[in-house]
Structure 1
Amino acid sequence: MTVSPHILLHEQSLSLNNEKLAQVLTGIDNLLIIQDLDGVCMGLVKDPLTRVIEVEYVKATQFFNGHFYVLTNGEHIGQRGVKSIIERAFGDPAEVKDKGLYLPGLAAGGVQWQDRYGNVSHPGVSEQELAFLAEVPQRTRTRLESFFEQYEGLLAASELEECIQASVLDNKVSPTANLNTFHEKLGERTDIYIALQREMKNLMDELLQEAEVKGLGNSFFVHYAPNLGRDAQGQEIVWPAKEKDSGTTDFQFMIQGAIKEAGVLVILNSYYFQRTGKYPLGEGFNVRQAPKNHADLLNLVKANFDPAEMPLMVGVGDTVTSKVEEENGQTEIRRGGSDRNFLQLIQDIGREFDKGNIIVYVDSSQGEVKNRKPLKIGNVVVNDAGTPRQELVVLEGPGDARDLEDPLTLNVVFPEGHKQYAQCFQKAARSRQASDGTK
């Protein structure tokens, strides 16, 4: 398959032209799609147990077999895992497994690998680490119960239990405190919610200290979503809540090295093996062996991957933030979001290898979770060969409008959210199927 050289989406910023994106997804043979899940192909919800995924979207991923992988901080397995969501959508787990309808790729930030048939492994994770992680959900529940004892009568016993059930995510390798339901129930009591954020951060800090005492000092880190980027020590910064802005809602206790940008290298390593029969980074390479910073990750790719086999990569995410803060006459820009770094790495690989990699942003602000800044869309007058006309454009992206030097360029955006993206993806899948059938 070939593609028109006039489709240069990587040179565009905040483009609404998803028709061109569909053409690229259809027409490129050496193609690698790396996609987030929540907010991208599923709507964001307060309680992860209520997530749903469209059957037709799942079926469409099969027409990109070998070219499509997920990369998520959620998990494949467990009662809240994407495997269960897909099985509920189809209503027949046996059919899902027999037809290979599970979504391949990396979960838990990169330490949980799954193939299309639902076979899951945890490369690089020890039994001792798994045992420590298994204790975190109960610790989280106990801390939440203790926290609300000081606010007796604020929530009915049944409401408190409902919130705790929704908040304590007993993921195998990324146990999480998800505060979305608490944020909704607390309403205008932002002061209490901020105190709750602080309490969850304190718990995460205590867990890290306890892990160190047990000889697991290099085993774990905490991922905050959304966040305000990283501090000078490389630790993610909690986004404090403000009125009508929940700030950080997810406090994820994760395996050290389980960062999405490292997952890009694992997926790329596997993709090269599919095409060439060789692993550029070795067969057993996993995220825990990857460098910790962006420059070193990029240099590892440059040193080991054959440019002649490098695919055109398409990175898809929904969580990219930036915030400009002014204090005492000083301006500081905080750039974060759980998808930012992996999208940035894909973009920079494309530039280094002259591949025109494409960064896709899905606006998830319309979901139940109201901590995303929506894209600002409007009409402008353009002069087309002397004839003025109205054109719908993106007036403002998801970051702070004062952040004028963000290194990440969002090439194509979907302002209507995951359903609009899924429709584009499914259209491309149908076209790809038809094209393959004519070969």
Structure 2
Amino acid sequence: MSTSFLPLHERSLSLDHEGLIQLLARESNLLIIQDLDGVCMGLVKDPLTRVIDPNYLEATQLFDGHFYVLTNGEHIGKRGINSIIERAYNDDNLVKNRGLYLPGLAGGGVQWQDRYGEVSHPGVSDQELGFLASVPQVIETSLKGFFSQDNYGLDYSTILDCIQATVLDNKVSPTANLNVFHEVFIDQENDYLKLQQRMKQLMDELLENAQNKGLKNSFFVHYAPNLGKDKQGQEMMQLAQGKDSGTTDFQFMLRGAIKEVGILVILNRYYYQKTGKYPLGEGFNVRQAPRKHEELLSLIKERFDPDQMPIIVGVGDTVTSKAITNDDKLSFGRGGSDRGFLELIQEIGKEFKTGNIIVYIDSSDGEVKNRKPLKTEKINDEIRVIEGPGDPRDQHDPLTLNVVFPGGHKQYIQCFREAAQSRKN
């Protein structure tokens, strides 16, 4: 049965990009909250090689006040999005003067930036920043130690080059990114699994070291992709299997720096723009917020005027659902670094009856081969998406992907630019 008559927020895996363009162009009370890697840029093994389309950056300006990013990456540093934007124009002053930086939250929610590149870290202490600054060197030393025991058939220069690409010295989210090692270990699955386990062990050791320095509740580890959370609320690493790299990013992050909490920070600022008042107070930051979805939703219901609530469009590319078999019982590990914030946006839409839209970008065609592509089929002369990014047996996934882009970030950017131009006109 056709679903084309349904509003976008009631559809699943829809290819009605024209309908999305019309909504983005015409809605005055609109809030776009968007991830970055894989959404407006292709996924690459080495983050230093990322590029961004200047035409996309120009389009975001036409949504000024209605568009914010929410990413686990960072705005600043040599691997940050700001450096990528500056390279795209080859003129740092032009980018700053024209306000071409992307506003919103990075580092999972602890790094705020406006359009002109003014960055702050609300709620973060100097002691925490000091500990984070030491982490990249610890990761590098650990990797060198790992390969000093066994070079796994790699020559010394290859190991050093891979370590250089693996250690991401981000200010508030230092990371071990194993993409390049998965590529060199593509036919040595057991060796790559050993490296995955070593990185997990290192992250546990870092948490223990922080606790010993009086920072017991300061940090957590984000695995990307992951299998959701265990009963203790800790993210579960996804082991590699065949050509699927499993978890590649081991991010040491500040507690509270989870994307869904960032929704409240962005909403708080959006309401201030509209009403002149901050529902949660001017100084509210992610580290003051509750962690559980039901508590976050309860706080929003309590403090935000429903008459002012915008239509929120959440855009991401990392949503997983993997089958897990224990004692012949089938369950599903539902994860992905975008799942949490997309689910909360969906729940807000249902609670406030605003018709929030969840947009999914298929980033499986990038250099990083750990994403399941959308499955399309021609039915009655019409291309339809018949299978999403999760396990098809997972019939009770709470997250509905309303509008999807099988063509990846380039297809999404084209749609976004058309919407921006229509909004301007």
- Same-fold call, TM cutoff 0.5: yes
SS of corresponding position for 1:38 = coil
Structure 2 residue 395 is matched with structure 1 residue 404 = yes
Q: Look up the match of 1:136.
A: 135
**Cα offset, 1:308, TM superposition:** 0.6
Question: Are the counterparts in 2 of residues 110 and 259 from structure 1 also a CA contact under 8 Å?
Answer: yes
Structure 2 residue 423 is matched with structure 1 residue 429 = no
Moved >6 Å (runs of 4+): none
**Cα offset, 1:429, TM superposition:** 0.5
Q: Look up the match of 2:35.
A: 36
Aligned residue type for 1:350:
G
CA distance, structure 2, for counterparts of residue 329 and residue 251 of structure 1: 30
CA distance, structure 2, for counterparts of residue 41 and residue 118 of structure 1: 19
Aligned residue type for 2:422:
S
Q: Look up the match of 1:229.
A: 228
**Cα offset, 1:326, TM superposition:** 2.1
**Per-residue displacement from partner, 1:325-345 (whole Å, max 9, x unpaired)?**
223221221100000010000
- After TM superposition, the structure 1 = structure 2 runs for residues 38-437 of structure 1, keeping only pairs within 5 Å, are 38-152=37-151, 154-381=153-380, 390-434=381-425
Considering only aligned residues, what root-mean-square deviation do their CA atoms show, in Å?
Answer: 0.8
SS of corresponding position for 2:108 = helix
SS of corresponding position for 1:199 = helix
Aligned residue type for 2:175:
T
**Per-residue displacement from partner, 1:5-28 (whole Å, max 9, x unpaired)?**
x77100100001111101000000
**Cα offset, 1:55, TM superposition:** 0.4
Q: Look up the match of 2:15.
A: 16
**Per-residue displacement from partner, 1:111-148 (whole Å, max 9, x unpaired)?**
00000000000000000000000000000000001111
CA distance, structure 1, for counterparts of residue 332 and residue 342 of structure 2: 19
**Per-residue displacement from partner, 1:142-193 (whole Å, max 9, x unpaired)?**
0001111122362111111110111000000000000000000112111010
Question: Are the counterparts in 1 of residues 48 and 78 from structure 2 also a CA contact under 8 Å?
Answer: yes
TM-score by length of 1: 0.95
CA distance, structure 1, for counterparts of residue 192 and residue 216 of structure 2: 30
Question: Are the counterparts in 2 of residues 7 and 24 from structure 1 also a CA contact under 8 Å?
Answer: no
Q: Look up the match of 1:3.
A: none
CA distance, structure 1, for counterparts of residue 54 and residue 162 of structure 2: 29
Aligned residue type for 2:403:
V
Question: Are the counterparts in 1 of residues 223 and 249 from structure 2 also a CA contact under 8 Å?
Answer: yes
CA distance, structure 2, for counterparts of residue 328 and residue 264 of structure 1: 38
CA distance, structure 2, for counterparts of residue 68 and residue 250 of structure 1: 27
**Cα offset, 1:235, TM superposition:** 0.2
Q: Which runs of 5+ in 1 are unaligned?
A: 1-5, 382-389, 435-439
**Per-residue displacement from partner, 1:32-85 (whole Å, max 9, x unpaired)?**
000000000000000000000000000000000000000000000000000000
**Per-residue displacement from partner, 1:179-221 (whole Å, max 9, x unpaired)?**
0000001121110100100000000000000111111000000
CA distance, structure 1, for counterparts of residue 92 and residue 162 of structure 2: 29
CA distance, structure 2, for counterparts of residue 327 and residue 257 of structure 1: 31
Aligned residue type for 2:33:
I
CA distance, structure 1, for counterparts of residue 175 and residue 60 of structure 2: 28
Aligned residue type for 2:269:
S
CA distance, structure 2, for counterparts of residue 397 and residue 217 of structure 1: 39
Question: Percent of aligned positions with the same letter in both sequences?
Answer: 67
Question: Are the counterparts in 1 of residues 38 and 317 from structure 2 also a CA contact under 8 Å?
Answer: yes
Question: Are the counterparts in 1 of residues 377 and 383 from structure 2 also a CA contact under 8 Å?
Answer: yes
Question: Are the counterparts in 1 of residues 109 and 261 from structure 2 also a CA contact under 8 Å?
Answer: yes
**Cα offset, 1:323, TM superposition:** 1.1
Indicate how the Cα distance of structure 1 residues 301 and 153 shifts in structure 2: closer, same or farther if over 3 A, else same. Answer: closer
CA distance, structure 2, for counterparts of residue 151 and residue 377 of structure 1: 44
SS of corresponding position for 2:62 = helix
SS of corresponding position for 1:334 = strand
Question: Are the counterparts in 2 of residues 322 and 336 from structure 1 also a CA contact under 8 Å?
Answer: yes
Question: Are the counterparts in 1 of residues 324 and 331 from structure 2 also a CA contact under 8 Å?
Answer: yes
CA distance, structure 1, for counterparts of residue 209 and residue 352 of structure 2: 44
SS of corresponding position for 1:19 = helix
CA distance, structure 1, for counterparts of residue 152 and residue 209 of structure 2: 33
**Cα offset, 1:400, TM superposition:** 0.4
Question: Are the counterparts in 1 of residues 96 and 116 from structure 2 also a CA contact under 8 Å?
Answer: yes
Q: Provide the aligned length of Structure 1 versus Structure 2.
A: 421
**Per-residue displacement from partner, 1:286-315 (whole Å, max 9, x unpaired)?**
000111100000000000000110000000
Question: Are the counterparts in 2 of residues 7 and 20 from structure 1 also a CA contact under 8 Å?
Answer: no
Question: Are the counterparts in 1 of residues 318 and 339 from structure 2 also a CA contact under 8 Å?
Answer: yes
